[in-house]
């Protein structure tokens, strides 16, 4: 399918700046209509063969420049539940990168030039968002010691405590990217995305951008999210038991159960560049502007600017620690 302007018939794309559809020819906003293509492999506009790669859900026709969305890759089992639409447009990201890298290069030519502008690509990356529920139980004996002097004697006192904890925590929307091509560590660093701006999926958001479908089903990526929930729950339990000189556990259990999973698309600007004959990439969070990547100057220094902070990466929706008893 693609989106065309009711006024002039040209291609319409999603504009991050306006958060509306915009006509590439007459600039009218939200005058779009959807045109469905019967063939997956021919361009609806010029008829050229545009067979998509295995995981491509939307792209640009290399012959006529029309943005195409592949119906079968955004419906049924491939229909995303939610999407964070692009918030930063190409110009903003280009200027951000230009500013960030300007001072860091000793090369006389600018790192980003008009010629490299086209290598900045807006992509929707597939993610799964996992929900878990954690139940923990701890039973043990803790000791506290104190010493004091009185006359010629030093007294030592050891107090024994029964330590009991029961906790329940709910985790919602722990993300893991479902793209083999995207490096997991880079995608983790690009977080957080602000989930307040999660919207129900609509294919129109893909117009003007490249899209990718999940490469494997959700179970293939689940362990990455599960480990985050488990380690968070264990830390909550551990932090709730403090102040003892010694601690001996009789029961120390943490049970993390799968609850739900959603298929999401998140926006990423990918800047491709060559340096000393090597292909390099810099990633920019298309919602927050966070930049992840390496500059050509130093191969050691990894840029990880947080341009927008204070957003939670996953929501710990409900946390309840019940202290059953602490008895001398
Ligand atoms: Zn138009
Ligand atoms: Zn075409």
The answer to whether 177 and 184 have CB atoms below 8 angstroms apart is: yes
Q: Which domain holds residue 177?
A: 121-297
| C-alpha of residue 63 to centroid of ligand 2, in Å | 5
Least distant ligand from the CA of 64: 2
Give yes or no for residue 99 having a pLDDT over 80.
no
* Cβ–Cβ under 8 Å, residues 268 and 175: no
Question: Which is more confidently placed, 38 or 153?
Answer: 153
| DSSP, res 191 | P
Whether residue 302 is contained in a domain is answered as no
Please indicate, yes or no, if residue 280 is contained in any of the structural domains. yes
Ligand 1 centre distance from Cα of residue 11 (Å): 7
pLDDT at residue 113, rounded to an integer: 60
234 belongs to a structural domain: yes
**How many angstroms is it from 158 CA to the middle of ligand 1?**
81
Asked if residue 309 belongs to a domain, the reply is no
Instruction: Assign 294 a pLDDT band (cuts: 50, 70, 90).
Output: low
Please report which confidence band the pLDDT of residue 310 belongs to, taking 50, 70 and 90 as the band edges: very low
Count of domains forming the chain: 1
User: Measured between alpha carbons, how far is residue 69 from residues 52, 66, 185, 250 in Å?
Assistant: 10, 10, 29, 58
What does pTM read for this prediction? 0.82
Asked, for residue 19, whether it belongs to a domain, the answer is no
Question: What tens digit of pLDDT does each residue of 183-242 get?
Answer: 989 999 999 999 999 999 999 999 999 999 999 999 999 999 999 999 999 999 999 998
DSSP state of 37: -
**For residue 67, is it within any domain?**
no
In a domain? residue 149: yes
- What one-character-per-residue DSSP string does 269-284 give? EEEEEEETTEEEEEEE
8 A C-beta contact, residue 230 and residue 116:
no
Q: Where are the alpha helices (DSSP H) in the chain?
A: 90-102, 114-117, 184-190, 222-240
Q: What pLDDT score was predicted for residue 302?
A: 29
Confidence of residue 45 (pLDDT cuts 50, 70, 90): confident
Left if phi > 0, otherwise alpha if psi is -120 to 50, otherwise beta: which for 289? left
Q: Is residue 37 part of a domain?
A: no
How many angstroms separate the alpha carbon of residue 89 from the centre of ligand 1? Answer: 20
């Amino acid at each position: 399918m693609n989106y065309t302007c009711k006024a002039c018939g040209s291609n319409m794309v999603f504009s991050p700046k306006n958060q509306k559809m915009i006509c590439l020819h007459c600039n009218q906003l939200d005058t779009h209509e959807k045109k469905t293509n019967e063939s997956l492999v021919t361009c609806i506009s010029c008829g050229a063969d545009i067979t998509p790669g295995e995981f491509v859900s939307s792209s640009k026709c290399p012959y006529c420049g029309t943005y195409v969305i592949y119906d079968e890759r955004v419906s049924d089992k491939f229909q995303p539940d939610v999407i964070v639409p692009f918030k930063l447009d190409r110009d903003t990201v280009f200027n951000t990168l230009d500013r960030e890298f300007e001072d860091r290069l000793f090369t006389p030519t600018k790192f980003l030039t008009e010629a490299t502008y086209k290598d900045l690509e807006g992509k929707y990356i597939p993610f799964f968002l996992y929900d878990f529920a954690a139940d923990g139980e701890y039973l043990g004996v803790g000791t506290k010691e104190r010493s004091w002097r009185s006359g010629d004697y030093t007294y030592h006192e050891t107090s024994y405590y029964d330590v009991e904890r029961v906790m329940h925590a709910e985790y919602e929307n722990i993300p893991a990217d479902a793209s083999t091509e995207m490096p997991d560590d880079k995608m983790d660093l690009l977080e957080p995305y602000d989930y307040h701006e999660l919207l129900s999926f609509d294919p129109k958001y893909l117009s003007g951008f490249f899209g990718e479908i999940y490469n494997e089903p959700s179970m293939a990526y689940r362990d990455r999210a599960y480990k985050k929930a488990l380690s968070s729950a264990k830390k909550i339990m551990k932090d709730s038991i403090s102040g003892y000189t010694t601690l001996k556990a009789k029961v120390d259990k943490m049970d993390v159960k799968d609850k739900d999973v959603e298929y999401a698309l998140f926006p990423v600007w990918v800047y491709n560049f060559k340096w000393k004959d090597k292909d390099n990439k810099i990633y920019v969070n298309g919602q927050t502007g966070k930049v992840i990547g390496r500059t050509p100057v130093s191969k050691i220094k990894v840029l990880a600017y947080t341009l927008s902070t204070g957003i939670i990466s996953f929501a710990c929706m409900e946390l309840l620690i019940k202290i059953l008893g602490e008895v001398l």
